Chain A
Amino acid sequence: MGTDRYAYLSRLRQVDPVAKTVLSTSAGAVCLLCGGLAPGLGTLLVMGILTTVWGKIPGRVFVRFLGIPITFLLLGCVTIAVGIYDGNTGGVWGLSLGSQVLGVTPASVHQALCVIAKSLGVISAVYFLTLNTPMTDLTGGLRRMHVPMLLIELMDLIYRFIFVLTETAGKIRTAQDSRLGYQGGFRSLSSLGTLSSMVFLRAWKKADNVYAALESRGYTGTLLTVSEEYRPGNLCYGLIPLVWGTQMLCLLLEGKVFG
């Protein structure tokens, strides 16, 4: 599902998840702190190269995943760029409403572009982690970082159940759709309601069965599994200064050009 499918094929799959998490979060955090157009695009470039060349994730997959958050990024950024300005503001362009203008100014467009670039930078840093680390390895890594046990266990269980329920929901949806269940607004709503409640009921029954199965195998309240053997992630730690250097360089360059 989603990024997880590709994470299993990544060349970096066997690398220590903690190291990958540290690299990804430090790149994302510095990108967020720098802000601005160039550091965002710089982070996007570096993390994109790391994911596609080092992790061997196909480039088109990376680009396709970048496209997913674009829709709500754009919606948010249009709201930032468009505003109501006084008619005399320099460079304002848009819909005139008497003395006021509903539109954009060069400054507001620049701000919106900066936010888009920054977001893309952080997103690429997160994708480096998620496209190279399967979720089960990630929760194992979180366990080693001392996140509360109960939270991790809930995450593990939820992750496993997601696939079961998605399959159930997909099958019901196909069945409803083939009987014209999604023709028109109200019929769709009622079909969707039936689907959701049936998935809920099945989830409940399934939980009963899972618990019975666990209990009959001596379940005492925790599900512990042996963690996998990983390759040490020294290279990941070594790459952090490189990523930071690129981001700082971008920040300096941007300051030269616009400053």
Chain B
Amino acid sequence: MKRSLTNVYFLMALACLLPLQTHAMHIGEGMLPAGWSIAWGVVCAPFIIYGFLNIQKRIHATPKVKILLAMCGAFAFVLSALKIPSVTGSCSHPTGVGLAAILFGPGITSVLGLIVLVFQALLLAHGGITTLGANTFSMAIAGPIVSWLVFRGLKKTNVSTAVSVFFAAALGDLATYVVTSIQLGVVYGGFGKFLAVFALTQVPLAIAEGLLTVVIFNILEKYSKSELKELAVV
């Protein structure tokens, strides 16, 4: 009897924490030890440098690209601040990982993502400066690369654009939180534990984000063919 009572209390305590899922994908300030913070920063460096050189080359060819990219970065920030409804009745925020990767490619996305994460950490206290490297790797490098590869791969197999956009965005989202789980798991042990907690909250969100990205992409395709063509050049 006493044991079952403990169980009930424990479940009640856990249930109180279910609504806390907004921005669960960012690793908060100070959550990682100093060594890991630096290590993730070092891992990110080659990707960021590649993206940076890529941007520099394009700006050199057409100076207007700088303004366009800045607008796109601001758009990514605003998108990530919007609330997205989820199946479980709660809501979270879209990451924009898939959309950015499809539109700009992974190199440029890594640099824009880095800047957006800095602003989120400083202005909104989402994520953090000490965990910037880890967050950049999961949200601005690993996720976009998966999205981009999925999108390119599915396009080649003659699947409709909507389907490839959906899978690119949803899988990019999932990849981001799998990487986040690994990042937390290697520090605190029990990678499966983090994965289980995030799986409960993130799978519906990944589906929602996939659907949202399809809606966005459809409208963009309908009304701004020329901009999309220009982006393929950008």
Q: Does chain A bind chain B?
A: yes
B178 interfacial by beta-carbon distance below 8 Å: no
Chain B residues whose C-beta falls within 8 Å of the C-beta of A192 in the assembled complex: 82, 84-85, 212, 215
- Report Cα–Cα, A64/B85, bound state, in Å: 25
The A-contacting residues of B in range 7-24, CB under 8 angstroms, are 7, 10-11, 14, 17, 20-24
B179 to chain A, nearest CB (A): 15
**Contacting pair B28 A135 (CB below 8 A):** no
Contact call A138/B122, Cβ cutoff below 8 A = yes
A194, B125: Cβ atoms closer than 8 Å: no
Q: Are B77 and A158 in contact (CB under 8 A)?
A: yes
Whole-angstrom distance between the alpha carbons of A65 and B63 in the complex?
39
A189 lies within 8 A of B73 (CB): no
Q: Interface residues of A, CB < 8 Å — how many?
A: 87
> A257 interface residue, CB < 8 Å from B?
no
Chain A residues with CB under 8 Å of B128's CB are 69, 122-123, 126
Q: How far is it, in angstroms, between the C-alpha of A199 and the C-alpha of B66 when the chains are bound? A: 19
Min CB distance B140 to A, Å, is 14
A194 vs B216: C-alpha distance in the bound complex, in angstroms?
A: 6
Q: Determine if B163 is an interface residue (Cβ-Cβ < 8 Å).
A: no
Q: Pick from A169, A188, A206, A214: contact of B85, CB below 8 A.
A: A188
A197 at the interface (CB under 8 A from B): yes
Docked CA distance A173–B77 (Å): 16
Contact present for B70 and A207 (CB under 8 Å): yes
Give the nearest-CB partner of A206 in chain B: B71
Kindly state the separation between the CA atoms of A29 and B37 in the bound complex, as whole angstroms: 11
A20 at the interface (CB under 8 A from B): no
Q: Closest A-chain residue to B198, C-beta based?
A: A79
**A3 to B126, alpha carbons, bound, how many Å?**
12
The distance in angstroms between the C-alpha atoms of A103 and B52, with both chains bound, is 46
Q: Is the beta-carbon distance between A161 and B31 smaller than 8 angstroms?
A: no
Binds A, one of B39-47, B142-150, B153-161, B218-226: B218-226
CB distance from A130 to the nearest CB of B (A): 5
B203 CB within 8 Å of chain A: no
User: Which chain A residues lie closer than 8 Å to B34 at the CB level?
Assistant: 29, 32-33
Q: Taking CB as reference atom, which chain B residue is nearest A142?
A: B118
B32-86 residues at the A interface, CB under 8 angstroms? 33-34, 37, 52, 55-56, 59, 63-64, 66-75, 77-79, 81-82, 84-85
Residues of A within 8 A of B123 (CB): 1-4, 130, 135
In the complex, per-residue mask of A169-210: 1 if CB is within 8 Å of any chain B CB, else 0: 100010000000010010011101111111111011011001
Please give, as numbers and ranges, the residues of chain B lying within 8 Å of A158 by CB-CB distance: 70, 73-74, 77, 115-116, 119
Of all A-B residue pairs in the complex, the 5 with the closest CB atoms, nearest first, are A193-B215, A157-B70, A122-B30, A161-B74, A119-B30
State whether A71 and B29 are in contact (beta carbons under 8 Å apart), knowing that A32-B37, A123-B125, A158-B73 are contacts in the complex: no
C-alpha spacing A219/B67, complex, angstroms: 12
A18–B202 alpha-carbon span in the complex (Å): 39
Task: Tell me how far the C-beta of A81 lies from the nearest C-beta in chain B, rounded to whole angstroms.
Answer: 10
Q: Report which of A72, A82, A154 forms a contact with B70, defined as CB distance below 8 A.
A: A154
Q: Does A41 contact B (CB under 8 A)?
A: no
Query: Which chain B residues border A83 with CB–CB below 8 Å?
Result: 190, 193
Assess whether B56 is in contact with A80, with CB atoms less than 8 Å apart: no
Which residues 198-235 in A have Cβ within 8 Å of B in the complex? 198-201, 203-204, 206-207, 210-211, 214, 219, 221
Using Cβ atoms and an 8 Å threshold, which residues of chain B touch A29? 34
Within 8 A of A (CB), among B161-211: 184, 188, 190, 193-194, 197, 208, 211
